[in-house]
Structure 1
Amino acid sequence: MARNERLIPASPERVFAVLADPDSYGHWVVGSDTIRGADDTWPAVGSRFHHRVGRFPLALNDHTEVIAMEPGRRLELHAKARPLGTAHVALDLERRGDATLVTMTEDAGDRITRLVFNPLTHFLVKRRNDESLRRLAELATP
């Protein structure tokens, strides 16, 4: 499992507002190219946004679905980029004074993907997520 933390100088409500905007994922999630649309109920449990991962000619269309959500506190996602695999991503927000500690954990989202998740994969995902959280902070910081 890849686990990353970042202290963002914004309130949990402000950080969650970015997470609640499906169009923001095209900017802050490394590897996500285009957000193709989203359910009107995003980020309600069971809602999805549709994305493109990668770049032409290796771009893949798929979706990410909300598994659990507590406004201002937690967002749990099942991200798909088939045939490359799926991921379980949790974003936990904890108020720290005027800032928010964001903890992002990512692991394989299905049995087949678990077969290819190894220490090297986790290392690469952790590096990618460091950059993703930096970009999230950029969007959330007033």
Structure 2
Amino acid sequence: MTEVSRVVDAPPQTVFAVLADGWSYGGWVVGSSHIRAVDAGWPAVGSRIHHSVGSWPLQLQDETTVVAVETGVSLSLEAKAWPTGAAAVGLTLVPHDGGTRTLVRMTEHVVRGPAKVLPEAVQGLLLRPRNAESLARLGDLAVGRLARVQP
């Protein structure tokens, strides 16, 4: 399993608000290029984001499904990107500096498809930089959201 983490200058509820906004997914998930639809109940268990992966005109259309959620604390997803496969993605939010900041942990591992045959060390080499950039983007969106709501 590949894990990356980052401290975000926003409280957990603000970071989770970005995660709970399915339409923001394309703004922070590296590789997601277009959000086509978000189920009305997002991020309830079983709800989905319908997204495109890659650059036009070579886009794959797929979906990400919520597997588990603890509001303000964690979100577990199954992200599909066929033909490469599907991955289990976990995001955990830990209050930091008295709750004014958030330690965000992101885990990912391939659960199905051709990419599953790659050794974990190789998966890590491929996923770590991508996921570190995703957390940087998530952090920027959370900080921007916080700035909009503070007087």
TM beyond 0.5: yes
- Do the aligned residues in 1 keep the contact of 2:74 with 2:90 (CA within 8 Å)? yes
Pair 1:127-2:129 in alignment: yes
Residues 75-120 of structure 1 show CA distances to partners (whole Å, capped at 9, x for unaligned) of 0000001111111000000101210100000001226432135422
Equivalent AA in structure 2 for residue 20 of structure 1: A
Any gaps of 5 or more consecutive residues in structure 1? none
Aligned to 1:137: 139
Any gaps of 5 or more consecutive residues in structure 2? 147-151
After superposition, the Cα gap between the structure-2 partners of 1:117 and 1:20, relative to the gap in structure 1 and judged at 3 Å, is farther
Equivalent AA in structure 2 for residue 131 of structure 1: E
1:102 to 98, 101, 104: 104
Query: How do 1:1-142 and structure 2 match up within 5 A?
Result: 1-96=1-96, 97=98, 98-110=100-112, 112-141=114-143, 142=146
- TM-superposed deviation, 1:122: 1.4
- TM-superposed deviation, 1:121: 2.6
Please give the secondary structure, in 1, of the residue aligned with 2:77. strand
- Structure of larger gyration radius: 2
CA RMSD of aligned residues (A): 1.2
| Mapped partners of 1:77, 1:118: distance in 2 | 19
- TM-superposed deviation, 1:36: 0.3
In the alignment of these two chains, the number of paired residues is: 142
| Mapped partners of 1:30, 1:64: distance in 2 | 14
Residues 10-60 of structure 1 show CA distances to partners (whole Å, capped at 9, x for unaligned) of 111000000000111111000000000011000000000100000123210
| Mapped partners of 1:31, 1:112: distance in 2 | 18
Q: Percent identity?
A: 49
| Mapped partners of 1:45, 1:118: distance in 2 | 27
More helix by share: 2
